Each structure stands twice: as structure tokens, then as C-alpha cells.
Chain A
């Protein structure tokens, strides 16, 4: 498990050719020290890629979170067809990422289903080059990601809601609390550990984002507006034939994820995980 990380760290100090050989690592002329790292942070495309990752991270938290909590609260009440709705919401998450991405790519192309639908219902003026216009591609991408992952968040929240004792809500209702007050002051606070775990998974997912971008967005538009750290890494490391530089990107991506994860554990997950992961932290 550790070996690839060590190898990436070693490669990142070299200027390696596309046709890599082990002997390259013994060649002193190929050793460039921290040049690859300096280059990464001087490249506007990479800085933009980091920015994109954090835009998606923040958007996920502030948009997907409330949607998931809201839907979960609604679905937690007895109602007709609840099982069917739960199933439908979860379908996108079960679908393979590549399949889902390719379907959306076809639906969102200029002559695709989404534009045809808009035309058919008289909203032809709203037609867009959803994934071909660099100005909106990132937003389209985020919409697809939300479609894909909000189901998982909802299921997680529903599971969390199972652990909230009904007696508390009943007691509150006897005391005259409205449905909303019950949720606001009793259910949501008790759901907080679940929300914090979901946020953690969501943040790591946003930082590592690769498949959906790679599959749906054409290389040119990706370069213009939706590059993430992971897609930039593969682009440079594999397709631009610079394994050393790509490895440096991989190490940077690893450290950014690690720092975010540690900070989040230290400050948000401390109570939830007491004794489990952060044993030393009290």
C-alpha cells in the first residue's frame, strides 16, 4: 500500500522521459530536486485545477448537504411509495461512473436529449452547449456530480435518522412543537455525527475527483475550465509524457488531501471518532 506512494515521491524529484527505464533514476542529470514542484506552483493551469477542486468541494457541502438532509427528513415520514422513491434516488449512485458520465455526455451534447427537451417544451432559448462551453462546463459538471452523489448522501442521512429515538420527537410534539421545530432542535442536532461523516467523505471525493470529468468533458474544454488535480496529473504524467512532473502533482494532491483530512478530523470529527482513529486526541 505504501510502495506506490514512495515511488511517486522518488519519481517526483526526476525529470523522466515518456519511455521510462529504471536506469533513468541512476542518471544524475535527470535528478532535478524540487524543480517539478516549483514548476507545478508556477503553472496557471495547475493553480486553476486546485481552485476547481475547492470550488466543487465547497459547492458539494453547501448544496448537496442541505438537499440530502431535506430529502431524508421528508422521506423519514411514513408516506405512500416511500420505498420506490428511496430506490430511485439511489439508482444514480449504483450506476458505474463511466456509464453515467457517457450517458450525460450524450444527453448534453449540442444536438442531445437535454437541448431537444428544452426545445420541445418551448424553452428553446435556454439551449446551451452544456459541456462544450467553457463558461458553464464546470456548473454542468457539478450538476451531474450532484445527481450522482446526492442519493448516497440521502441514504446515509436516512441511516443516521434510524438512530434518532422517536420518543424525543413525540415528547416535543406533546409539548406543542411544530414539525419544523422538532426537526430543527431535536432531529438535526442528533443527526450531526452522520452529517459530519458525510461531509468528510464528500470533501475527500471532491479533492480526488477524476472519472466524471475525464469521461464527460472534452480535453480542450477540460483544459479551459474543468481541470482537476487528478485529471491534470494524468494528462501531464501519462499523455504529455512527463512521469516525473506527474508524480510531483500526485504528491501534492496527496498532501493537500492529507492536510484537509487531518484538519477536519482534528476539529470536526474529534468527538465522533474518539478512540477510533485519533487515539491520541482527547
Chain B
């Protein structure tokens, strides 16, 4: 060994020592319960803009005031980063936050199977009962691992002024009417529908809607449980979507359009009058409001549910939806359950509803909704005969991702309706 490599070895050892030291420092600092009996709760949510960060901050300090010795550290992260990167990594590293956002369906099942989540039935049964059947997607084998604080359905956010100018008197109630209205909008010089296909999932939601309206509720429930996609209605959904894309309903260059960021996004196109409609979830009024020059939800904005499809097995009043829930990590202190119960209390839910950020899940709070569009969505939710969870959420990350890839191929004109189902079946086989 010559002198140079000795130096290198020493440097390496020093670097490794430093790295180790900082790791230890990290884990020491991350410990929850300090020796003097004080409890620190860490809470991760997805509120980064609009009125919500302030609401959660208030909730945290109110809870601290009512529970001496408890400290709540709440942090908001961008939704996709939170769900796809931060939470999975935190769970895998064994240093999970106490209270964090939990997506229902497949992801929840994965986390439960790994023992990451705490069952809540014994500690806060009343809170669970208060939201009724909405909690079902957060349950596995009869146990509840999360409670949704907001739940809503998807529909069309549209520009009432442009509809009027194009001579459309009422929102479409069937697919044929929708296609006819698109033609009228084009004639009047408007882009009928904006879709943020660049982000994949907004494009995929179109296929979900066609599947929802082509497949019977029983077929959808079996598919969610057994990953059985053999029913021809799934291929039919792809064919219907292909035909629909063939009528040229979307804006130019939709393959590269993002969904919710910037004036050039699909929400931005609707916000600034460059497209007449967008198919999107219950949160969209807030997103559109944030993309207008004056940061207000525009007065022209209206909402209607996805129309039924004539002659198909699907339920015309079925709706596609989802929500955000909170759950406690497996080794969280009991104060975590209490905080969750407080978040779900009537007063916090009413405050949430009044902020106009979404639809609360506790029925008494729904009356506190002030935003007319959110009221319309809440009404749509109440009228829906059957609510299917977003399919990618319901099927879990692996199948959901393969499904979205297949749908995007169809949008780009390089895939077939059969490919989508094949991708889903293949992905399910790797589980």
C-alpha cells in the first residue's frame, strides 16, 4: 500500500464515521416521548396553499391548549410527494409520523399488511360511526385504519357563459348529448374540454368513468377484490373512450398538458376561458380559483355529474370519487387517536366546510358549505346510487399504474382497448 492509498483510506474512514455520526444524531432527535412525560405528535397533511394550512395550524394549537403536555408538529407537503415518496419512505425507515394522510383502497391494504397502521375501532368508535359508510374504503377485514375528513365525487366543471353562447340550455345528461354539445361549442369557437393528460391520471379518469358506466357495480366490486378484469365491459370502456377521443373533444397538445399547475394547465385553461369544461374531482373549484388573475373562483363556473351511457350495463347515476383520510402509525401514542377525533369533531368539520376547501364527511357539517359548486357536488354525492373509489386508488399502486400507462397509450393513439386490460391483468399477476 503506497502513501496515496493510505491517505484515501483514512479519508474514507473519516467520511464514513461522519455519516454514521449524523445518522445516529438523526434517530436520537426523531424520538417522540421525552423523559419528562411530554408527548410530541407529528402530523403530515397535504395542505400547502389556500385556506387549509391556516385551518390545520389552528386545529393543532387548539388541541395543544386542550391537552397540556402535548405538542403537535403539523407540516403540509405537496400531495403527490407526500403520498408517493415521503410517507412510503418514512414508513419503510421505521420513523413514521404519528398522524398522516392515508389513501384508501389498495395503498391502505398494503400498509395494513405490513403492520404500519393502528386500528382505531376501540379508541374512537363514535368518531368512526359519525361518518357512516364513507369510511368503508378505509377499512380492512372489518377494522378501521383511517377516517376520511373529506370525500367527494368527480364531475364536469364548466363555463356557464360559454355554454350559453354556444346555445346549450342545460348540461348534458347522456353521452350522446355531451358529444353533441362538444360540436356546438366547437362551432361557437370554443375548445370543448380541457384534459391534463400530461400527468397521466387525469386522462386515466376518463377511462374510469367509461368503465364505471359500462360495468355493473357487481363487476366493479369483484374486480376490486379479485383483480378479475375478464368481463368484456372493461374492453368496451376502452372502445367507448377511443370513439369519444375520435370526436376531437380535447384541446390541442393535450398529451403534454399538466393538470393543475400554471395557466397552461387544464384547470388553467378553464380558469381563463380557453376551454369550456374539465372532468375533475371535487377539489377543482379551489384549483381553478387559484389560477385566475384575481385568485377568486370565477362566477361562470358550474358543475354537473358525468352523464350516463345509453344501453350499457353501468348504473347511470353511479359516481366516481375519493377522499382524504388520516390514520395513526402503528406505534403512535394514544394522543394521536384523540387528535384525529378532534379533527373529525363537528366544529372542526364545520370550519373545514366553511373554508370552501372541500366537502366534509360529517353530515351535520355539510350544512356549513357556502360555496355553491361544492354544494352541487355534495348534492351529486347524495344522489349517487353507487360510489366507486378512483380505480387506481382502489386497485393499488402496481395495478393502478399499469392501468394508467395503458390508458395513456390509448390517448396517444398507440394502444388498443385490449392492451389496457392486458396490462392490468399482467400487473395483477406480479402481486
Contacts and interface: CB of A to CB of B under 8 A. Distances in A.
Interface in A124-139: 129, 131-134, 137
B232 to A, nearest CB: 25
A40 B16 CA distance: 34
B275 interface: no
A221 B114 contact: no
A174 B357 CA distance: 81
B127 to A, nearest CB: 25
Contacts of A39: 430
A157 to B, nearest CB: 30
A21 B116 CA distance: 10
A19 B93 CA distance: 10
A134 B91 contact: no
A132 B84 contact: no
Interface stretch (B33-41, B71-79, B394-402): B394-402
B309 interface: no
Interface in B252-295: 252-258, 264
Given A19-B113, A133-B256, A224-B409, 15 more contacts: A18-B88, A18-B110, A18-B396, A18-B397, A19-B88, A133-B253, A134-B255, A218-B198, A220-B198, A220-B200, A224-B414, A238-B85, A239-B401, A241-B396, A245-B430
Nearest to A130: B256
A116 to B, nearest CB: 13
Interface string A9-41: 000000101111100000000000000000100
A45 B414 CA distance: 12
A216 to B, nearest CB: 10
Contacts of B256: 109-110, 129, 131-133, 137, 217-218, 220-221
A111 interface: yes
Max chain A Cβ within 10 angstroms of own Cβ: one of B91, B253, B254, B405 = B253
A219 interface: yes
Interface of B: 84-85, 88, 91-92, 107, 110-111, 113-114, 116, 197-200, 203, 252-258, 264, 396-398, 401-402, 405, 408-409, 411-412, 414, 430
Contact of A17 (B114, B253, B411): B114
A10 B200 CA distance: 31
Contacts of A240: 397-398, 401-402
B408 A220 contact: yes
Nearest to B198: A218
Contacts of B85: 238
Q: Enumerate the 7 nearest inter-chain pairs by beta-carbon distance, A residue then B residue, closest first.
A: A132-B256, A218-B198, A241-B397, A240-B401, A129-B253, A132-B253, A20-B92
A167 B85 CA distance: 60
Nearest to B398: A241
A223 interface: yes
Contact of B405 (A20, A223, A245): A223
A240 B198 CA distance: 17
Contacts of B253: 110, 129, 132-133
Nearest to B204: A220
A219 B198 contact: yes
Nearest to B401: A240
A17 B414 CA distance: 29
A60 B264 CA distance: 31
A242 interface: yes
B252 A110 contact: yes
A132 B401 contact: no
Max chain A Cβ within 10 angstroms of own Cβ: one of B84, B107, B252, B255 = B255
B199 A220 contact: yes
A109 B113 CA distance: 43
B92 A19 contact: yes
18 contacts: A18-B396, A132-B198, A132-B255, A217-B256, A219-B200, A220-B198, A220-B199, A220-B200, A220-B203, A220-B408, A221-B256, A224-B255, A224-B408, A224-B414, A238-B84, A238-B85, A240-B402, A241-B401
B264 A111 contact: yes
Interface string A218-256: 111101100000000000001111100100000000000
Contacts of A217: 256
Max chain B Cβ within 10 angstroms of own Cβ: one of A39, A133, A137, A220 = A220
A18 B398 contact: yes
Contacts of A137: 256
Contacts of A45: 405
Nearest to B256: A132
